[in-house]
């Protein structure tokens, strides 16, 4: 709501003159509208408008354009349009890999994580795990804990859904996730993983 008010105020002041500045404002207006009204259609229309302000070559997206397209994918995902989301996120990933220099190294992690989530939602669990493993490797290479716990947790959830899964593998990934969530003090996730571990222990002994 606060973001929505700030965006509206800035828009009225008309301080944003360049296409890049206008784009930034419209992008955040779309996020605010989605958060406040859950209006996917309006938000996506705004994001398309924001993209068109700078898009010159659809095969070579800038870092900002990749950010905006990822926001589109998230909105589609929230709307349960997972296939659309998967297509956009794969395009984001391809374009990110073409960039010579990136200011925000963690955007690739976010793309991979959201892509793996959508693949999981569409029952493509093995494919999701491939991307999760790439994400885990990338986070370690970047020396960041950002999304690392969530990636280990998602991997265990995907492994559980595979028919011939190994319980030890599932527990191993939960424990990795728990360790990172404890380090980063994510109480909600800590409780969730602890409950899962207790549940699986009880199953073993029942």
Kindly write down the DSSP assignment for every residue of 124-183, as one continuous string.
-HHHHHHHHHHHHHHHHHTT--TTHHHHHHHHHHHHHHSTT--HHHHHHHHHHHHHHHHH
Nearest to 5 by CA among 39, 32, 44: 32
Structure tokens, 143: 């020396």
Q: What is the pLDDT of residues 134-188, one digit of tens each?
A: 999 999 999 999 999 999 999 999 999 998 888 999 999 999 999 999 999 999 9
Nearest to 89 by CA among 119, 114, 117, 53: 114
Flag whether pLDDT at 200 surpasses 90. Answer: no
Strand blocks (E) in 9-125: none
């Amino acid at each position: 709501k606060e973001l929505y008010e700030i965006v509206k105020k800035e828009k009225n002041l008309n301080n944003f003159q360049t296409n890049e500045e206008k784009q930034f404002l419209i992008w955040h207006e779309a996020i605010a509208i989605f958060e406040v009204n859950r209006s996917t259609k309006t938000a996506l229309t705004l994001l398309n408008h924001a993209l068109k302000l700078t898009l010159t070559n659809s095969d070579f997206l800038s870092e900002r354009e990749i950010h905006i397209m990822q926001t589109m994918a998230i909105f589609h995902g929230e709307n349960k349009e997972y296939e659309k989301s998967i297509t956009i996120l794969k395009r984001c990933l391809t374009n990110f890999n073409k960039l010579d220099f990136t200011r925000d190294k963690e955007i690739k992690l976010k793309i991979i994580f959201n892509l793996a989530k959508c693949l999981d939602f569409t029952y493509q669990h093995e494919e999701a795990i491939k991307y999760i493993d790439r994400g885990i490797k990338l986070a370690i290479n970047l020396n960041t804990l950002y999304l690392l716990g969530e990636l280990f947790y998602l991997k265990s959830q995907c492994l559980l859904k595979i028919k011939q899964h190994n319980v030890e593998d599932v527990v191993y990934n939960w424990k990795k996730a728990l360790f990172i969530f404890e380090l980063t003090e994510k109480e909600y996730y800590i409780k969730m993983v602890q409950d899962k571990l207790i549940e699986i222990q009880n199953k073993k002994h029942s």
